[in-house]
């Protein structure tokens, strides 16, 4: 396993989440490909003055949350951010293991829906930016 770092004050709790490695991600991919990495999707998390914006992690083409964010998700949560992630872009070719293969318009709609759920409108600024890494 990787190192641990203390969680910031965003949740009002102090804890250490394990920071994974490539091998941790590979293990998660093989045993539970739709699982969320440590620190992700804590729906009782509240943003703080220090970290006023939640972080939505978006995996790339032919990947998923389990393998993509084993290090970054707990590092951000340990630093006090509210971290969310989801698997998007499922098709008949993903077999419930890899994602990000659906048309970009469909994936973008899924991202918009997820962001609306993880970041309620009253707290959201008028304009936000997102980057979806895609191959091709």
Domains in the chain: how many in total? 1
For residue 7, the model assigns a pLDDT of: 42
Quick one: pLDDT at residue 106? 92
Asked if the model's pLDDT at residue 3 lies above 60, the reply is no
- Residue 83 reports pLDDT greater than 50: yes
Q: Average pLDDT for residues 112-119, to the nearest whole number?
A: 81
**Domain assignment present for 101:** yes
Range of the domain at 96: 4-119
Q: Is residue 129 part of a domain?
A: no
Close Cβ partners of 13 (under 8 Å, ≥ 6 residues apart) = 7
CA distances 135 to 61, 87, 125, Å, are 6, 16, 29
Mean predicted confidence (pLDDT) in 16-39: 89
Residue 79's pLDDT is: 93
Residue 136 lies in a domain: no
Tell whether 115 is covered by a domain.
yes
> Which tops the pLDDT comparison, 94 or 73?
73
Q: Report whether 101 contacts 134 (CB < 8 A).
A: no
């Amino acid at each position: 396993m990787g190192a641990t770092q203390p969680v910031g004050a965003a949740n009002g709790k102090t804890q250490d989440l394990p920071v994974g490695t490539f091998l941790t991600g590979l293990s998660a991919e093989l045993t539970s490909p739709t699982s969320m990495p440590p620190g992700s999707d804590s729906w009782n998390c509240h943003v703080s003055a220090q970290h006023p914006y939640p972080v939505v992690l978006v995996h790339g083409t032919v990947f998923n949350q389990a393998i993509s964010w084993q290090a970054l998700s707990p590092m951000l949560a340990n630093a006090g951010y509210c971290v969310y992630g989801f698997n998007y872009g499922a098709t008949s070719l993903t077999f419930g293991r890899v994602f990000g293969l659906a048309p970009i318009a469909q994936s973008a709609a899924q991202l918009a829906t997820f962001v609306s759920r993880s970041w309620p409108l009253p707290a959201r600024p008028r304009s936000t930016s997102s980057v979806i890494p895609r191959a091709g």
